[in-house]
């Protein structure tokens, strides 16, 4: 029976684990030819080694920046900026790669302050939101990512900056078709164009720092960077970022690439964890395990302890039995002597009197200490003498003696 209660929950948990494992695979990028990859497979995530993940760029950014491992940020920009004092100093680099950005007013204010403090914000987003566009003075062709898969080998990016030795890069696969329709020419420099010569990479000067906006961040994913000599694309994009100096930090965003709609309500770290499928499935599996544990372990493992009946008051039974004993033998004298012994012990204990001589003086002293009337006290002493002197007592004499002692107990 015990074995049954162990096997059943283990089997159920094993089935649930297999189901969760299968479900966790749903939505992962399939191993398909590059020309058949879908825009949905573009993740930019730094642990994703699929063609359009961000594993390569994350590793190479650290090497470009004096082998400094990028610090991963999993919260909104405003939250990270307010809680990290080092971000308010100059020389830091913050990299955001995403299909769309959904910032709020606090995020944009913090981004603006970050750039003006002398830092560089690399915003590789196919479709920056309107708030970002208004703050940094540019507009784009479409507010949607606009990703598409090229039919053949196409020019991915052309850099117009004279600082770039190799201006054009090619690969076959997913690209973004968005471009800038207007910029603030007083503070903006066009650095790159898409495959039909439309500007899609700009530099915005703000305060002491720079904002780099790239509308085709797909060029910085695994496959495009690894295709032939395209590794130089990363160097071309990061060409305007400051070189590493002591105490400066390279930040890598893992928050905005997971956003699919504007945030509602206050942000919490818990929301970030629940966005990751592995964390989400682990959480629910833990809850299910706890429920099964409570369900099966809440049963008693030991035998049921029998109820112990409460102790009964045997004093009444003893008195009743004793009374029946004396009544059946009808030994009034013996019972009266027992009553005398009990009475004298009571007087010695309570009033601290010597009961060896039961005379007139003793009766007066007992009456004074007990507050019992003198006449009734003397009568009680006479009853004691009567019990001691007469060999036999009648029922009436025993009753009178009992009444006298009872009155003394009640009124003294």
Statement: residue 276 has pLDDT above 80: no
How many C-beta atoms lie closer than 10 Å to residue 283's C-beta? 14
> Which pLDDT score is estimated for 167?
87
Query: Would the pTM of this model clear 0.75, i.e. be above it?
Result: no
pLDDT for 205 beyond 90: yes
364 phi and psi angles, rounded to 5 deg: -65, -40
Cβ(239)–Cβ(161) below 8 Å:
yes
Q: Which band of pLDDT confidence, cut at 50, 70 and 90, is reported for residue 311? A: low
Q: Which residue has the higher pLDDT, 11 or 269?
A: 11
Count of C-beta atoms within a 10 Å radius of residue 170: 16
What 3-state DSSP class applies to 203? strand
Beta bridge partners, 279, equal none
**Nearest partner of 105 among 77, 75, 139, 142, judged by Cα:** 77
Q: How confident is the model at residue 408 (pLDDT cuts 50, 70, 90)?
A: confident
- Inform me whether the pLDDT recorded for 1 exceeds 50: no
Q: Taking Cα atoms as reference points, which of 382, 409, 412 lies closest to residue 397?
A: 382
pLDDT for residue 405: 85
């Amino acid at each position: 029976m015990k074995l049954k209660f162990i096997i059943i929950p283990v089997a159920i948990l094993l089935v649930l684990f297999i189901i969760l494992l299968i479900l966790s695979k749903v939505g992962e990028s399939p191993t398909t030819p590059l020309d058949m990859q879908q825009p949905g497979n573009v993740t930019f995530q730094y642990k994703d080694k699929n063609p359009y993940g961000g594993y390569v760029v994350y590793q190479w950014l650290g090497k470009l920046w004096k082998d400094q491992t990028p610090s991963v940020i999993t919260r909104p920009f405003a939250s990270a900026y307010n809680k990290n004092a080092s971000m308010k100093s100059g020389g830091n680099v913050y990299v955001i790669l995403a299909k769309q950005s959904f910032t709020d007013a606090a995020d944009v204010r913090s981004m603006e302050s970050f750039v003006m403090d002398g830092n560089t914000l690399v915003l590789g987003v196919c479709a920056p939101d309107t708030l970002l566009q208004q703050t940094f003075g540019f507009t784009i062709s479409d507010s949607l990512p606009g990703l598409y898969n090229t039919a053949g080998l196409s020019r991915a990016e052309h850099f117009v900056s004279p600082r770039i030795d190799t201006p054009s890069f090619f690969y076959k696969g997913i690209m973004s078709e968005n471009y800038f329709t207007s910029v603030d020419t007083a503070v903006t420099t066009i650095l790159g164009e898409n495959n039909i010569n439309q500007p899609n990479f700009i530099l915005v000067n703000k305060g002491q720092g720079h904002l780099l906006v790239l509308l085709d961040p797909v060029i910085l994913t695994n496959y495009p960077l690894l295709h032939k000599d395209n590794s130089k694309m990363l160097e071309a994009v990061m060409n305007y970022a400051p070189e590493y100096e002591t105490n400066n930090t390279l930040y890598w965003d893992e928050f905005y690439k997971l956003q699919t709609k504007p945030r509602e309500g206050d942000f919490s770290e818990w929301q970030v964890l629940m966005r990751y499928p592995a964390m989400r499935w682990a959480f629910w599996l833990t809850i299910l395990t706890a429920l099964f544990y409570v369900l099966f372990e809440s049963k008693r493992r030991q035998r049921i302890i029998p109820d112990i009946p409460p102790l009964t008051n045997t004093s009444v039974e003893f008195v009743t039995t004793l009374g029946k004993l004396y009544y059946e033998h009808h030994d009034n004298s013996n019972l009266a002597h027992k009553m005398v012994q009990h009475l004298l012990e009571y007087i010695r204990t309570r009033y601290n009197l010597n009961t060896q001589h039961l005379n007139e003086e003793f009766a007066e002293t007992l009456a004074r200490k007990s507050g019992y009337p003198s006449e009734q006290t003397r009568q009680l002493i006479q009853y004691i003498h009567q019990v001691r002197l007469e060999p036999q007592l009648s029922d009436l004499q025993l009753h009178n003696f009992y009444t006298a002692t009872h009155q003394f107990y009640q009124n003294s």
